[in-house]
Structure 1
């Protein structure tokens, strides 16, 4: 699998929403709030997500879980929008580690969040600022926008 590309997300991306997480107990709220930000409505009991929002919510949960378990708090999740993309950006404050794909770990040993992100998104990368390490993933906007407009 190799390593992740080191680069920031597209520079024209505009922030739509931000969440600050300090524990795994906040992940359920993140999923619901992220779904609402993507589709414009709350997820009803038993309702299935459309493909792109479902992928974004799944990757957000995986990356946020990794950041909460292995990074330094707080974990920040941002949803960005570019011309034809949604970009998910998850940051923590541990600058001592580099994101690595866990392709050598046995199944069930954990650490597969980055592989899921690569499988479900168009592109994945990472970058560091003075105080934070970010992992981002991009997704097509078209289907998610249509889902929000048809309900």
Structure 2
């Protein structure tokens, strides 16, 4: 897969414009067509995190809860505002889990919605920034991706 970065004029705050770490191995993939599938995604993500956490690592503490919240927010935004299907991937490096959420709308640039009223939505990227080690976005030939990295253990 070839990655390319898209130039942007919209404010994207602290989002990196890069693919996830190059050594990230894909562990699980969940294609989504509607928000009705989010409950299943949350359960499957927690099960996958438990399955793919190295035995040598400490307890995950609240990392699964943080990842489930971020995955839900990013997937909801992609389903509602992107072009289907939305694809959620769980990746892992030596030290991090990485969530990668993709849709097929290459025209919309991820935007930190800091000027909207609190009840208007668009807070998924703020939650990702608050809960993840790092957050970024990139495009491939047909998809736009937003990713968030989390520690394997606390």
Say yes or no: TM over 0.5: yes
State the 1:40 CA deviation: 3.0
Give TM-score scaled by structure 1 length.
0.86
Once the two structures are superposed, residues 106-143 of structure 1 have per-residue CA deviations (whole angstroms, 9 ceiling, x without a partner) of: 11110000000000000000000010000000000024
Whether the aligned pair in 1 keeps the contact of 2:30 and 2:88 (CA below 8 Å) is yes
CA distance in 2, matches of 1:139, 1:21: 22
Paired positions, count: 136
1:84 maps to what in 2?
95
Unaligned runs of 5+ in 2: 1-11, 53-59
1:58 maps to what in 2?
69
State the 1:50 CA deviation: 3.7
CA distance in 2, matches of 1:95, 1:77: 17
Give TM-score scaled by structure 2 length.
0.85
Q: CA RMSD in A?
A: 1.5
Matched, 1:31 2:80: no
> Runs of 4+ in structure 1 displaced over 3 angstroms?
none
Once the two structures are superposed, residues 77-115 of structure 1 have per-residue CA deviations (whole angstroms, 9 ceiling, x without a partner) of: 000000100000000000011000000101111000000
Whether the aligned pair in 2 keeps the contact of 1:89 and 1:136 (CA below 8 Å) is yes
CA distance in 1, matches of 2:22, 2:130: 23
Matched, 1:5 2:5: no
CA distance in 1, matches of 2:132, 2:13: 17
Whether the aligned pair in 2 keeps the contact of 1:8 and 1:127 (CA below 8 Å) is yes
